[in-house]
């Protein structure tokens, strides 16, 4: 049985402008119809999720179906943001996917201990990133059953 392919909201937290542009281009390369929004650090991510500051309008800034999170960011890093998301009763059901350059086993273990849903090492090529975004779309939006919170 094929799942619904209705567009969902993807929220990506990454401080690197080049990485954000490449992720956007990779999703576009896959002809993704999902709504993609970017924030630049964990603090902005939490403002978005908690509807603070510029993100108070739930129509303009709907809760995401998934969050793609970098670990190393300024102000509030991905570790702290992940902790806060998974401790919040309203947010903890949103799947969080770490997309990081880290290959450290302790980083992987610690992220899963904090409740991350998936840990993916950032590919070094654009082609690899296109493959990752295709896999994310197929699994999270066409295979997995997500909570309908947005």
Per-residue pLDDT tens digits for 4-39: 556 689 999 999 999 999 999 999 999 888 899 999
Distance CA 32, CA 37 (A): 13
pLDDT at 150: 47
0.85 cut: is pTM over it? yes
CB 37 within 8 A of CB 10: yes
**97 pLDDT above the threshold of 50:** yes
Distance CA 107, CA 56 (A): 33
List, in order of start, the domains of the chain with CATH numbers. Answer: 9-142 (3.40.50.2300)
User: If pLDDT is split at 50, 70 and 90, which confidence band does 149 have?
Assistant: low
Across the range 73-78, mean pLDDT stands at 93
């Amino acid at each position: 049985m094929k799942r619904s392919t209705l567009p969902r909201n993807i929220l990506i937290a990454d401080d690197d402008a080049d990485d954000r542009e490449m992720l956007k281009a990779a999703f576009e390369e896959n002809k993704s119809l999902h709504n993609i929004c970017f924030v630049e650090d964990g603090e902005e991510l939490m403002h978005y999720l908690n509807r603070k500051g510029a993100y108070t309008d739930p129509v303009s800034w709907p809760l995401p179906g998934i969050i793609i999170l970098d670990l190393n960011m300024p102000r509030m890093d991905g570790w702290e943001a992940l902790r806060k998301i998974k401790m919040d009763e309203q947010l903890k059901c949103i799947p969080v996917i770490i997309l990081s350059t880290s290959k450290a086993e302790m980083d992987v273990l610690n992220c899963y201990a904090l409740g991350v849903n998936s840990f993916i090492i950032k590919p070094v090529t654009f082609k690899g990133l296109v493959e990752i975004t295709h896999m994310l779309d197929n699994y999270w939006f066409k295979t997995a059953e997500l909570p309908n919170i947005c």
